[in-house]
Structure 1
Amino acid sequence: MGSTFSGIELGKRSIMAHTDAITTAGHNISNANTEGYSRQRVQLKEFDPLYKPDLERAERSGMIGQGMDSQSINRVRDELLDQRITEQQHSESYWETRSKYYTMIEQIYNEPDDVSIRSNMDKFWEGWQELSVHPESQAARQAVVTRGESLADSIKTKWEALMGVGNLINGDIEATVKQVNDYTRQIASLNAEIVRSRGMGDNPNDLLDRRDLLVDKLSKIINITSDMRDSDEFMVHLDGHVLVQGGVARSFDLETVVDNNGYDKLVWKDTGNEAVIKGGTLGALIELRDVDIRSEVQSLNTMTMNFSDLVNDIHRNGYGANNVTGLDFFTQHSFVENVNGNYDRDGDGTLDHSYIFRFTGTTKLNPQEQIGLEGVMTLSGSGGNVQVAYHPTDTVETVINRINDSNGEVKAYLDRNNNLVLKGTTASAVENPDFVIRHVEDSGFFLTGYTGILQASGAAGAYDYAQADAVQALAGAQFAVSPVLNPAGYIEVNQALKNDVMSVAAAYKDNSGNVNAGDGRAAVEIAAIRNTKVMIGHERTFDDYFADSVTNVGLKGEQAENMHLSHSAVMEDLRSLRDSISGVNIDEELADIIKFQHGYNAAAKFVTVWDSLLDTIINRLGV
């Protein structure tokens, strides 16, 4: 039979269960503004009855109830929704980061008209036009030098601004990598605590909230996914790689890359292999630094290098009013002092590479003439060597356009003497040097006897930079050693011209070998560079470069802003849905407190009544 005191125990259980419910509601209210907190609910259940259905139970009507008990305290959380947010959140932060930095890049290109590179370059060309009309004028020469200095300063200012943004991004990358490593360590530590807590039969809701918050923050930085193995081992993955497994966390490190402006690449600390991050804040920062900013700097360097090279090529062969010749207008700094461009790339003390920027053929060509030759040229490219075929019916101009339209990193044009010029461009791969011709080969005779660049056809006669004295493969072609990295950062007018502006070349020698004071042919040629199709790359003229560079930055900035707004709208809906499920509603919690308070009062009254009954039985029965 049931105990006389069973009612006291029943009331006690009810009081304790309602106390748990009130305490949990108070805990929810206290953490209403705590980041990452999920509201909790007490799972109440009826206590096991006094009599179970077996052969030894007393014969009586029904089972006697034992009251209620707190079964567990659980978080209110939608795990599928959490996974969806984790998997999509990196896209929002990726575009947000790109949008923020492209605002800075756009500001660099939004220069005032009177100090922009384009404005200064227009004034530079106008100075040469004026000099061509008045070649005997010292004032016109002074104007050319002064405007050249202004142009060089504006180029250097833009380069410094781009590198400033690049350095800022690089600093953010270093800080973000430390943050990622810190988050993964904390997640792994929490995993171990959660497993120990569950092993004791507890439900560590607050630890789970803290872990979910860290995963949420980590998903904004890198493109991760998370899952549970079995029931205890929580895992975080990054593009198929395990980042966190239970109590073990992997971390990242930064490794220096040669010829990358001192910037580091991201590697896995345990293996040393390169880590590829495609999303999140870190993925956007790496892409901005190594692709966007690098591309803008390379584009500026390409324009600067080819601009100064073309001006110098004419100026060097012209004569000043004082009969001085052989001077470059802009100072160029060769990458190596060796006249053949030989360079010790691996630092072992032996010259093992040839850094050559330009080849100039020995044969004067007619751009409209059909070549009458068949073959395939092999040129260095971004993903390996590329092949450019030519046919007997092709004209010289057609072949040149085909070279420039290929994915090769060797471009071509005809110089003022109609000799074929091959130039190295900036390299797509970080490990390859800029403005270095790495490979030139021809199965036929276009680059050999026809243009006078290579000595022999086929692989045996190919030029390849991965050896010293590679220029021996050339058939008497002129060549120029590659410049120091980032020519846009150090371009300046030749000091000799600043000291004596009469050395500025405007004339050529006539047929008798004399220089006439009124000759302005060299100045005319330099002024004509402005609209001549000589720009290396897809842009054919310098005007094409300015138009494309501004348009490209503007379109990428617009894309980043639009994609950020789109992903933000999607994530806002998802977060609102999560808040409606897991967020704390103070009004709801207060209502629960009142409800459980009434239950508590009723249970206390029940205990009081039962105590009165026991008092009657013990102290008054039989009196």
Structure 2
Amino acid sequence: MRSTFMGLETAKRGMFTQQSALYTTGHNISNANTPGYSRQRVNFQTTTPYPAVGLNRPNIPGQMGTGVEAGSVQRIRDSFIDVQYRNENNKLGYWSARADAFTKVEDIVNEPSTEGLAATMSELWESLQVLSTSAENDGARSVVIERLQSVTDTFNYMADSLNAIKKDFGDQTGVTIEAANGILKQLFDVNQQIAEIEPNGYLPNDLYDRRDLLVDELSQYMNISIEIEKMSVGGNSLDIAEGVYRISLMNDDGSGIMLMDQNNYKQISFSSTDAEEFDVPADSVSALYFHEYEYDKEYQLTGAPVETVDFANGTDVVFARGEIRGLIESYGYKHDPADATEDVKGIYSDVLDKLDKLAFSLGTMFNDIFKLGYDMTGAQATEDVFELPIDYKNAASEIKFNEAITPEKIAASTTGSVGNAQNALNLANIGSMLLSDTAVELLGGGTYDANGNSEIKSGTLNSFYESVIGTLGVDSKQAKRMEENVTVLKDSVVTNRNSISSVSLDEEMTNLIQFQHAYNGAARMITVVDEMLDKIINGMGVGGR
């Protein structure tokens, strides 16, 4: 037999459920501007109808509903769009780091311009050509001295500036890795909180949002993969509970290194010498080290790294995409840290290496041809114009002008005669000598082995530097273009994500009115039931009064 109070209970459930929906709507409105917040909704579901199936069920026409209840409070999120966002964010971090590196290189190189190295070398060749027409002019000789000094100053400035920016990128790499480590620590803590709450039958939506926001930030730094581990053993976890995350760092070959699961997490360091040193090494990055931490241990190193991977393997970079890779590629890395002869790879290392080759080749060739000539006194030159290191490495930063070379000591002649200035033309032609030719014909007789005395083995010094600038421009344009393209794609994904997960105040205000009317309707039903009960209790059974 149905209860007289059945309608009252149904209305009460309706009021409580609509009240929960109103509270959830208020929570959405309050967090409309909270970063990473996903709007939430109450999943309404009908309660068990009356009567249940059984032999003792009352004989009534059919089952009657008993009201509504809040089955769960769920956040609105599309995991597929999350994956898209993280992929684009990861690419953007990589290309932004490269674009920033190229921008800073271009600011220093400053080509084409009237103040760059190309203009400085061109002015040197022009001053020597002028000298060839007026070898007895002290002013022309003084101008050559000034141009020689300008070339060394320009090389020194460019090399020192590039090395300083390179060091800044190394420091930034260390800071970025520390930031990624901090996010991993926070992710692990949030993961643990979720693992403790879900078995109690709740959906920790705000913790889900916090975790996904941290994952979004981490995806900028490195290419990660997310696996979900459901809390299936024990407890009362809901079917729609999201579980805990297992995060892996993905390599170019598709393999992964586990960074975090339910029980432990790892921190990253990198060095070419000391596995526990977090500082950037002096020359390049060669390996990444992973130190493991347990849930019940303090935040400190547990000793030797549990895993080590080379940053580069053969010709392929192992550490795939992300801002960290972009920074390391800018700073420099080696395939084999034990090989002292291997060149350091990277944006700044490559530019510095080519600049060193240019400075060393120019200085060596100039010194050689200079000493083939004669000064104003008729004596053959014996001193080097440029002071250079033994090897071409660091030549751009170490090249110096020999201040003992005075205007009268400039070896402009090939015969010793003051009026002869053919050697000045030979010096002026250094920039355009074909370096693939082992027997360059010199004015005044004789040949010069340009190929054997230069670190650059093809083209000319001028064309070599032009190719350096051209390659730099192409790579820079590509990095900036990719940064712009990925930014557009990321913005598109963000728009799609916001259309699903973000809070719309107009929609929430509509929901407020809807739930308020439903609440008022349930309250009105209680009034009606109250009147019915009043009639039954006070208005019936009073016959004969």
**Structure 1 and Structure 2 fold alike (TM over 0.5):** yes
Percent identity between the two aligned chains: 30
Question: What does 1:248-267 correspond to in 2, within 5 Å?
Answer: 248-256=264-272, 262-265=283-286, 267=288
Residues matched between the structures, number: 468
The C-alpha deviation readout for 1:549-606, integer Å capped at 9, x for no partner, is: 2222221222122222222222222221221111211111111111111111111111
1:184 is aligned with what amino acid?
A: L
For the aligned residue pairs, the C-alpha RMSD in angstroms reads: 2.6
394, 400, 403: which one pairs with 1:486? 394
User: Does the CA-based 8 Å contact 1:97-1:285 persist in structure 2?
Assistant: yes
Structure 1 residues 260 and 547: CA distance shift in structure 2, 3 A: farther
2:503 is aligned with what amino acid?
A: V
Matched with 2:411 is: 505
Q: Calculate the TM-score normalised by the size of structure 1.
A: 0.70
Q: Indicate the SS of the match to 2:61.
A: coil
Using the TM superposition, give the Cα deviation of residue 316 of structure 1 relative to its aligned residue in structure 2, in angstroms: 4.1
Deviates more, 1:240-249 or 1:611-620: 611-620
Matched with 2:39 is: 39
Using the TM superposition, give the Cα deviation of residue 39 of structure 1 relative to its aligned residue in structure 2, in angstroms: 1.1
Q: Aligned equivalents of 2:520 and 2:114: distance in 1? A: 82
300, 322, 326: which one pairs with 2:382? 326
Q: Indicate the SS of the match to 1:273.
A: strand
Question: What does 1:254-293 correspond to in 2, within 5 Å?
Answer: 254-256=270-272, 262-265=283-286, 267-270=288-291, 271-275=307-311, 276-290=318-332, 291-293=346-348
Using the TM superposition, give the Cα deviation of residue 266 of structure 1 relative to its aligned residue in structure 2, in angstroms: 5.4
The C-alpha deviation readout for 1:280-335, integer Å capped at 9, x for no partner, is: 222222222221121111111110011111112233454444537431111123xx
Q: Aligned equivalents of 1:586 and 1:170: distance in 2? A: 45
Q: Aligned equivalents of 1:562 and 1:127: distance in 2? A: 40
Is 1:552 matched with 2:471?
A: yes
User: Does the CA-based 8 Å contact 2:289-2:308 persist in structure 1?
Assistant: yes
Question: What does 1:384-399 correspond to in 2, within 5 Å?
Answer: none
Matched with 2:249 is: 238
Q: Aligned equivalents of 2:530 and 2:113: distance in 1? A: 94
The C-alpha deviation readout for 1:252-278, integer Å capped at 9, x for no partner, is: 113156997555555123234334433
Question: What does 1:152-551 correspond to in 2, within 5 Å?
Answer: 152-230=152-230, 232-239=243-250, 240-256=256-272, 262-265=283-286, 267-270=288-291, 271-275=307-311, 276-290=318-332, 291-322=346-377, 323=379, 325-333=381-389, 481-482=390-391, 485-497=393-405, 500-507=406-413, 515-534=416-435, 536-537=455-456, 539-551=458-470
483, 491, 499: which one pairs with 1:564? 483
Question: What does 1:572-583 correspond to in 2, within 5 Å?
Answer: 572-583=491-502
Q: Aligned equivalents of 1:118 and 1:587: distance in 2? A: 61
Deviates more, 1:9-18 or 1:110-119: 110-119
1:571 is aligned with what amino acid?
A: K
In structure 1, list runs of 5 or more residues that go unmatched. 334-480
Q: Indicate the SS of the match to 2:45.
A: strand
Q: Aligned equivalents of 2:13 and 2:501: distance in 1? A: 28
Using the TM superposition, give the Cα deviation of residue 69 of structure 1 relative to its aligned residue in structure 2, in angstroms: 0.7
User: Does the CA-based 8 Å contact 1:191-1:247 persist in structure 2?
Assistant: no
Q: Aligned equivalents of 2:114 and 2:219: distance in 1? A: 45
Q: Indicate the SS of the match to 1:250.
A: strand
Q: Indicate the SS of the match to 2:429.
A: helix
Using the TM superposition, give the Cα deviation of residue 172 of structure 1 relative to its aligned residue in structure 2, in angstroms: 2.2
Using the TM superposition, give the Cα deviation of residue 144 of structure 1 relative to its aligned residue in structure 2, in angstroms: 2.2
Matched with 1:426 is: none
User: Does the CA-based 8 Å contact 1:252-1:266 persist in structure 2?
Assistant: no
Using the TM superposition, give the Cα deviation of residue 62 of structure 1 relative to its aligned residue in structure 2, in angstroms: 1.6
Q: Aligned equivalents of 1:205 and 1:196: distance in 2? A: 14
Deviates more, 1:292-301 or 1:531-540: 531-540
Using the TM superposition, give the Cα deviation of residue 167 of structure 1 relative to its aligned residue in structure 2, in angstroms: 2.9
Using the TM superposition, give the Cα deviation of residue 612 of structure 1 relative to its aligned residue in structure 2, in angstroms: 3.0
The C-alpha deviation readout for 1:194-248, integer Å capped at 9, x for no partner, is: 1111011110111111111111121122122212134534112222222222352
Q: Indicate the SS of the match to 2:258.
A: strand
Matched with 2:443 is: none
Using the TM superposition, give the Cα deviation of residue 539 of structure 1 relative to its aligned residue in structure 2, in angstroms: 4.8
The C-alpha deviation readout for 1:360-410, integer Å capped at 9, x for no partner, is: xxxxxxxxxxxxxxxxxxxxxxxxxxxxxxxxxxxxxxxxxxxxxxxxxxx
Q: Aligned equivalents of 2:142 and 2:81: distance in 1? A: 70
1:303 is aligned with what amino acid?
A: L
Q: Calculate the TM-score normalised by the size of structure 2.
A: 0.79
User: Does the CA-based 8 Å contact 1:278-1:284 persist in structure 2?
Assistant: no
Q: Aligned equivalents of 1:610 and 1:299: distance in 2? A: 90
User: Does the CA-based 8 Å contact 1:319-1:505 persist in structure 2?
Assistant: yes
